[in-house]
Structure 1
Amino acid sequence: MTSPAPEDGWEGILDPGEEILWQGRPDGALVLSGGLGRSVFGLAFTAVSVLILREIAADGPPLAMLWALPFLGIGLYMLAGRFAWDALRRRHTWYTLTDRRAFIATELFGRRRLNSWPIRPDTPVTLDPGPPDDVWFAEDWREIRHHDRRDRGHRHSRPRRVRRRVGFRRIAEGRRVMGLIHQIQSTASGTATA
């Protein structure tokens, strides 16, 4: 592929001379894998919430049911909702690899987001073969704040850093994309073969 024309929507995004090498989308299928412990906990959370709702419905005030509904929602999300959310996000994601960067674009509920990561000679690249394949090329660190129980009565929270791998998830051409990234790296380091 060659560099897109300005009418293709890349004006002001790509650097002068930057060329698109590959574009694709992740598989949007529902995948029920990973985090079995969280699913078991979600099942228990859901079951207890249903039992509480049943008891309240039998002989409690109807407004008391509102108290248990958030717990039911949390349990259902941990049990199955997180898999549906992941599939929905992937269905609204687009990938682009240029001769300099990797782009991940999402558009979900009217909110657009475009992130890019440079491909350098020292960028670690990992292929998790599928099918579909995952090609990982970056790490993202997120700060999560949680309440410190030792500071009772105070509204202080300690940040906790969580690592998240970044890459092109669940793609059909993982080996080809990894090969393109290796070509970019060898060209950038000056070891490209003619």
Structure 2
Amino acid sequence: MSDPWAGILDSDEVILWQGRPNASLDIGPANWVGFVFGLCFAGFAMVWMLLAKQAGGLFWTFGLIHFSVGLSVALSSLFWASWRRRYSWYTLTDRRAFIATDLPLQGRKLSFYPITEDSDLKIEDGVPPSVIFKTEYRPRKKGSYPVPIGFERIAEAREVYRLMRQVQRDAQTSDAG
């Protein structure tokens, strides 16, 4: 039987923890903002289509794309995070944190993040909590916005956080020695 981590882990790298996020719905205020915006967008498109239909012809069908986009924004703001977590797996080694996803239509993706003495570790409260170990900045029209990266909604968050702190301490002593 072949090792699924062969070629991914360093020869002396050790897996400390593996787990999966809780995939239940977690709907907060930001989700509702996206949902309401999407519904308003879809509602405007629906009104436009009804008015265009009264003029006759098939011109009203051009509103279908806007209606679909509005519904997509509304539904994805409520369900996307839960859907993504359902197809995610987490692994912590004595050097790195791995996030694997296998999303339908997008395929498999494996991302890894070194845990160093400079990693900004924190626990985000929630039920269950999350362990954040990196912040990426994604561009937008004017500037960028922070996106926290970590093991989202895991029951063992406190233990994983403790393990990550130990990895940091080990990195400090190996750098000092």
Scaled by the length of structure 2, the TM-score of the pair is 0.86
Q: 1: distance between equivalents of 2:61 and 2:3?
A: 49
Aligned to 2:161: 178
Contact 1:104 1:116 in 2 (8 A): yes
Aligned to 2:104: 109
Q: 2: distance between equivalents of 1:21 and 1:131?
A: 23
Contact 2:35 2:77 in 1 (8 A): no
C-alpha spacing 1:57/1:81, structure 2 compared with 1 (3 Å): farther
Q: 1:13-43: per-residue Cα shift (whole Å, max 9, x none)?
A: 0012110011111111222224233333222
Equivalence map 1:46-61=2 (5 Å): 46-61=42-57
Q: 1: distance between equivalents of 2:87 and 2:168?
A: 29
**Partner amino acid for 2:71?**
L
Q: 1: distance between equivalents of 2:13 and 2:167?
A: 12
> Identical aligned pairs, as a percentage?
38
C-alpha spacing 1:131/1:7, structure 2 compared with 1 (3 Å): same
- Counterpart of 1:118 (choices 114, 118, 125) is 114
Uncovered stretches (5+) of structure 2, i.e. residues with no partner: none
Q: 1:159-189: per-residue Cα shift (whole Å, max 9, x none)?
A: 7433211101111111111111011111221
Q: 2: distance between equivalents of 1:42 and 1:57?
A: 22
Report the CA distance between 1:56 and its aligned residue.
Answer: 3.3
Determine if the alignment matches structure 1 residue 75 to structure 2 residue 40: no
Equivalence map 1:21-32=2 (5 Å): 21-32=16-27
Report the CA distance between 1:125 and its aligned residue.
Answer: 0.6
Equivalence map 1:9-48=2 (5 Å): 9-35=4-30, 36-48=32-44
What CA RMSD, in Å, does the superposition of the two structures yield over aligned residues? 2.1
Contact 1:101 1:117 in 2 (8 A): yes
Aligned to 1:131: 127
Contact 2:101 2:108 in 1 (8 A): yes
Report the CA distance between 1:100 and its aligned residue.
Answer: 0.3
Aligned to 1:99: 94
Contact 1:95 1:102 in 2 (8 A): yes
Q: 1:100-143: per-residue Cα shift (whole Å, max 9, x none)?
A: 00000111126111110000112111101221111100122333
Scaled by the length of structure 1, the TM-score of the pair is 0.79
